[in-house]
């Protein structure tokens, strides 16, 4: 289902439709222009379908649980396990390390099997893993190494489930409806991103961090049940010539890194994740230990991004149709380094909350570009390559998180949290400038049905 989150990553969040309504995308690597900036012959919107909305419900439940446990685990480390910045960096690195090892392979596996069973199995695994974390913490048997090992296992499971999820959505809606489908998912993600931290902060403050983690375990159980109720039959994977796995991996990588616009987009997104992780790894520790904000206040601060994010995600399809996907994304993404620099400027005292809330409201605006990114890279990639395309991009995105988390914890332990976050802000600034000057700025959706 959803991945273990950092600050909401653009075009990387979320994970069903009547198969006969899906349309294959053109097997082309070139920018295509049509009658409007998004390449649609008419502004008519296609229905999303009952299966999509069941997926939407499942994702909403598990996303809420994931946001809750993300903040809860941070406070579990700080308050229950007395972890320092380096230990926090190690646990966060363990979440993402499986992508360095298994990320590319996950795309190949997801293309060889039906995807819904993978999603249900991943939800059941998430229920078991987070249930174990919560029970161990409640009984006083949880340690930093055990926590790191458990989130590593969950990261490995997530490799497969997200590869299946992102390539399954296009089978549930017509291609011309992808921007609206991904916008609805992104909008839901932002609403959950607003409600989740407040719920998590309340659970941590008035009950405990372990109880909050157990809520996430329950959310995975509910999600699995919802996914199991989807009745739309999923076709068996298309039979094809058996090829060496390495050849399939190379084909997916070649598609991404030789594509005129996917290549600069991928390079930027890899760097975006690295910079975001440098900031996000120590953000909660910084807010709690240096700005002296309690769990509920931190939750309220983080919720601000969901408010502006929900508005932004709702505006995204219209902005993309009017101005073109590339121009909207390259313009909106200038807010990312702005958010990071604002976080660095916060100081202890009554203004700390004001500055952090302002930073989160700015950060939430990246939701405008998030759904458009997923729509674009899905539409320009043929169906047989979508899982591998997503896995290729995601491997280096989330694999970079593992390295950046370790680096952030190390920088913070030596020079302080602000030094780690300032480094991330400067990297984000350089990455945004690169995207702005790249061919991706002129990207539009190919003409579709």
- The SS3 of residue 449 is coil
Mean pLDDT, all residues of the chain: 77
Query: Which of the four pLDDT bands, split at 50, 70 and 90, describes residue 104?
Result: low
Query: Would you say residue 28 lies in a domain?
Result: no
Q: At residue 132, does pLDDT exceed 90?
A: yes
**Domain count along the chain:** 1
Average pLDDT for residues 241-245, to the nearest whole number?
61
pLDDT of residue 260: 84
pLDDT of residue 264: 92
pLDDT of residue 365: 83
Query: Would you say residue 2 lies in a domain?
Result: no
Query: Which of the four pLDDT bands, split at 50, 70 and 90, describes residue 326?
Result: confident
Q: What gap in Å lies between CA 237 and CA 114, rounded to an integer?
A: 7
Query: Would you say residue 175 lies in a domain?
Result: yes
CATH number at residue 122: 1.20.1250.20
Q: Which domain holds residue 173?
A: 48-233+259-442
The separation between CA 253 and the C-alpha centre of its own chain, rounded to angstroms, equals 20
Q: At residue 328, does pLDDT exceed 80?
A: yes
Query: Would you say residue 447 lies in a domain?
Result: no
Please, what's the largest Cα pairwise distance for the chain? 64
Q: What Cα–Cα distance (Å) separates residue 78 from each residue in 73, 204, 278, 395, 404?
A: 9, 12, 18, 29, 20
Q: How many Cβ atoms from other residues are within 10 Å of residue 141's Cβ?
A: 9
pLDDT of residue 166: 62
Average pLDDT for residues 10-28, to the nearest whole number?
32
Task: Choose among 2, 447, 438: nearest CA to 219.
Answer: 2
Q: What gap in Å lies between CA 307 and CA 298, rounded to an integer?
A: 15
Q: At residue 427, does pLDDT exceed 90?
A: yes
Question: What is the number of helices (H) and of strands (E) in the chain?
Answer: 16, 0
Query: Would you say residue 190 lies in a domain?
Result: yes
pLDDT, tens only, 371-422: 788 778 877 888 777 777 877 888 888 778 888 988 998 898 889 889 999 9
pLDDT, tens only, 273-312: 999 889 988 888 888 888 888 888 888 888 787 777 778 7
Average pLDDT for residues 358-372, to the nearest whole number?
82
Q: What gap in Å lies between CA 25 and CA 381, rounded to an integer?
A: 6
pLDDT, tens only, 24-74: 232 333 333 333 434 343 344 456 667 677 777 887 887 788 888 888 888
């Amino acid at each position: 289902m959803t991945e273990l989150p950092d600050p909401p990553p653009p075009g990387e969040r979320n994970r069903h439709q009547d198969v006969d309504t899906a349309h294959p995308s053109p097997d082309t690597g070139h920018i295509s222009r049509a009658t409007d900036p998004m390449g649609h012959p008419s502004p008519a919107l296609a229905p999303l379908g009952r299966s999509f909305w069941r997926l939407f419900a499942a994702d909403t439940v598990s996303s809420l649980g994931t946001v809750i446990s993300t903040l809860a685990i941070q406070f579990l480390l700080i308050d229950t396990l007395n972890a320092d910045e380096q230990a926090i960096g190690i646990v966060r690195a363990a979440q993402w390390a499986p992508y360095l090892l298994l990320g590319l392979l996950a795309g190949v596996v997801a293309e060889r099997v039906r995807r819904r069973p993978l999603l249900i199995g991943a939800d059941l695994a998430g229920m078991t893993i987070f249930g174990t974390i919560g029970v161990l913490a409640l009984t006083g048997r949880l340690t930093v190494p055990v926590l790191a090992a458990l989130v590593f296992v969950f990261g490995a499971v997530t490799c497969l489930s997200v590869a299946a999820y992102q390539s399954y959505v296009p089978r549930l809606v017509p291609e011309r409806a992808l921007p609206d489908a991904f916008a609805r998912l992104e909008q839901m993600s932002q609403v959950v991103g607003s409600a989740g931290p407040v719920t998590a902060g309340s659970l941590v403050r008035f009950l405990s961090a372990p109880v909050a983690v157990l809520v996430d375990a329950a959310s995975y159980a509910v999600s699995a049940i919802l996914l199991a109720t989807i009745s739309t039959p999923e076709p068996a994977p298309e039979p094809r010539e058996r090829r060496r796995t390495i050849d399939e991996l190379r084909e997916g990588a070649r598609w991404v890194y030789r594509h005129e616009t996917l290549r600069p987009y991928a390079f930027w997104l890899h760097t975006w994740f690295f910079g975001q992780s440098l900031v996000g790894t120590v953000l909660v520790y910084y807010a709690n230990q240096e700005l002296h904000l309690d769990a509920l206040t931190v939750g309220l601060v983080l919720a601000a991004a969901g408010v502006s994010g929900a508005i932004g995600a709702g505006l995204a399809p219209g902005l993309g149709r009017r101005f073109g996907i590339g121009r909207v994304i390259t313009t909106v993404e200038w807010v990312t380094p702005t958010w990071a620099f604002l976080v660095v400027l916060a100081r202890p005292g009554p203004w700390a909350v004001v500055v952090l809330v302002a930073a989160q409201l700015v950060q939430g605006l990246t939701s405008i570009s998030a759904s458009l990114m997923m729509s674009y890279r899905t539409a320009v990639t043929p169906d047989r390559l979508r899982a591998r395309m997503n896995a290729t991009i995601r491997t280096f995105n989330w694999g970079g998180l593992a390295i950046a988390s370790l680096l952030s914890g190390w920088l913070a332990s030596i020079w302080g949290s602000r030094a780690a976050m300032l480094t991330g802000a400067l990297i984000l600034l350089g990455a945004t400038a690169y995207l702005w000057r790249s061919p991706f700025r002129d990207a539009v959706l190919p003409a579709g049905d």
